[in-house]
Amino acid sequence: MNTSEPADRERGGRPDRDGGTEKLNWIDRRREKIRAEIERNRRGEYTVPTWVLAAALILIVVAWLGLIFYLG
C-alpha cells in the first residue's frame, strides 16, 4: 500500500465525493419523484405504461389467432 493514496481509494470510493451525502441526495430526489407522481395521479393525469398496452395488444392478437386456428 502506498501511503500517499487517500483511504477512500482502498474502499473503491471516489475521494471527491461523500458517499453519505450522495446517497441522501438520491433518496431525496426519488422521494420528490414519487410525491410528484402521486399528485399527478390524484389530479387524474395518470397514464398506462407503454409495456402494459403492448402486452395487452399481444395477448388480444394471440387469443384472436388462437380462435381462428382452433375453430377454422
Tens of pLDDT, residue by residue over 7-59, are 544 555 555 556 677 778 999 999 999 999 899 889 988 788 899 999 999 99
Could you tell me which residues come within 8 angstroms of residue 38 by beta carbon, excluding any fewer than 6 positions away?
A: none
Provide the 8-state DSSP code for 12. Answer: T
pLDDT at residue 18, as a whole number: 63
Length of the chain (residues): 72
CA separation for the pair 38, 27 (Å, rounded): 17
What lies within 8 Å, CB to CB, of 40 at 6+ separation is: 46
